[in-house]
Structure 1
Amino acid sequence: MVTDKNPLLREGERLDILKRENIQIIQSPSVFSFSLDAVLLADFAELPRKRKATIVDFCSGNGAVAFLLTGKTENPIIGVEVQDRLVDMAKRTVQLNQIEEKVSFIHADINAITEHIKPDSVDIITCNPPYFKNLNDSTKNNLDAYTIARHEILLNLPQLMKKTSQLLKMNGKAYFVHRPDRFFEILDAMRANRLAPKKIRFIYPYEGKEANMILIEAIKDGKEEGLKILSPLFIHDDSRAYSEEVKAILFGE
């Protein structure tokens, strides 16, 4: 059994378990740890299990979404992350679990991704992008890993949708998790880049509260008609424990 004294761990890092995938993932509370939005995005994405497909995860962070996707397909997953510390964590997770044939990572800026991956070559893209605009106000910290991951300092919505469209094949699919308050911006950026939203699901902390996350499926060059608004997902039940659906997503229960 691997312990937190594993030589692949660095100071301040710990091992957590992705239970359904049986993967031990390296995390660092002071640098970056994935949250529930990554888990929900990976669950929402529809991947071919056996049919050959190129699958890319943008804004991979420490690789959580990429690792979670391995349980849904026999195709390898390619993660793309701009921050070298996070790429290093993700690559050490690959080494730790000996899953080199399942997951790999590219250290790159999404804005320069066509230098690494050919345009019109990708079947599926997933992305848990920066949620917040790059505002010069007191709510932002220094440019640490967490701030870069959460604010549009290096990648904004129009840039994300442009590069998503460039990489996807015709009828390729993209899956995003984001914030509902930016819904119209997301749709505008999609339509400007030949991406048609096809499925939308709003996520709520619990019944009676406003939605705080949104999941969106888009298709490149897809028809605009046929948009589906899926049933709401409630994170917690009346007792504030995880809902049955969320427990199934997290633990396979």
Structure 2
Amino acid sequence: MDRLDIIREDETLEDLQINGFSVIQKKEGFRFGMDAVLLANFAKLKKRDEVVDLCSGTGIIPFVIMAKNSISKITGVEIQDEMVEMANRTARYNNVNDKAYFVNGDLKDKDLIKTLGKVDVVTVNPPYKLKDSGLINLDDRNSIARHEICCTLKDVVEAASILLKDKGRFYMVHRPERIADIICEMRSYNIEPKLIKIVHPSIKKRANLILIEGQKNGGKFLKWDTALYVYDENGQYTEDMNRIYYKRDDDNE
């Protein structure tokens, strides 16, 4: 089968511009955002690590991780079957289906989570918004990705705790206004917060994302990383963002 035969008429192929990797996306509907790319770059991976990505969507975090790191295995867990099917086709397109696999299931299903075994790293870009925050369509795919309809912060952290080996590492991207909830939930499931990085859209704007690293049964010592600014005063990517996206200065022109 030709690689392009894997792509369907209502889909597009997004070039990640990292070591030849691409991701299949719908032309219309939910598409991955910068937050997922930032998380994939924030996570610290070792060569033999086994990874589970929760709320995996179309697999953007696993594919960026695989494009930039040599890891043993990565499994994505996603409740929306259409996204899982797309992610598995993306794995075939990139010829990494021997190392990347996506499972259609509910992370609240503890029996399912336990079948995945213990892993070194768990990543997650969960829904940020509380279920009752505004008018939402409970059946809409975008709403499921953005609101706590199918899972809550507690559900995500509990699943991560079940999956992680002792001293295993947890990486999550979320909103700054949820930081108190995040730390409380992590500690309640024995994932100790170790590092927090705040992300600002630009030099003069307040932070709108946080990246957090935790460790299963880790010691109590929390550090704050240097802040990340996405755009500079001229509306161009900062040097930090250029490094993340493998861009040169003249790519912004």
Q: TM-score with structure 2 length normalisation?
A: 0.92
CA distance in 2: counterparts of 1:218 and 1:174, whole angstroms:
5
Is 1:148 equivalent to 2:144 in the alignment? yes
Is 1:158 equivalent to 2:134 in the alignment? no
Aligned-partner SS, 1:205: strand
How do 1:197-208 and structure 2 match up within 5 A? 197-208=193-204
Residue of structure 1 equivalent to 2:228: 233
**Count of aligned residue pairs for this structure pair:** 246
Deviations 1:118-139 (A, max 9, x none): 487111000000111101632x
Is 1:8 equivalent to 2:11 in the alignment? no
Is 1:110 equivalent to 2:107 in the alignment? yes
Q: Which amino acid aligns with 2:63?
A: F
Residue of structure 1 equivalent to 2:251: none
Q: TM-score with structure 1 length normalisation?
A: 0.92
Following superposition, the deviation at residue 114 of structure 1 comes to 3.7
% of aligned pairs identical? 37
Partners of 2:105 and 2:112 within 8 A in 1: no
Residue of structure 1 equivalent to 2:134: 137
Is 1:214 equivalent to 2:204 in the alignment? no
Residue of structure 1 equivalent to 2:77: 80
Q: Which amino acid aligns with 1:232?
A: A
Partners of 1:32 and 1:62 within 8 A in 2: no
CA distance in 2: counterparts of 1:32 and 1:101, whole angstroms:
27
How do 1:110-129 and structure 2 match up within 5 A? 110-118=107-115, 121-129=118-126
Following superposition, the deviation at residue 96 of structure 1 comes to 1.6
CA distance in 1: counterparts of 2:27 and 2:126, whole angstroms:
19
Following superposition, the deviation at residue 33 of structure 1 comes to 1.1
RMSD between aligned residues:
1.8
Cα gap change, 1:200/1:136 in structure 2, threshold over 3 Å: closer, same or farther?
closer
Is 1:98 equivalent to 2:95 in the alignment? yes
Partners of 2:174 and 2:209 within 8 A in 1: yes
CA distance in 2: counterparts of 1:136 and 1:14, whole angstroms:
31
CA distance in 1: counterparts of 2:106 and 2:77, whole angstroms:
8
CA distance in 1: counterparts of 2:117 and 2:94, whole angstroms:
31
Cα gap change, 1:247/1:186 in structure 2, threshold over 3 Å: closer, same or farther?
same
Residue of structure 2 equivalent to 1:26: 24
Q: Which runs of 4+ in 1 moved over 4 A?
A: none
Gaps of 5+ in 2: 249-253
Partners of 1:110 and 1:163 within 8 A in 2: yes
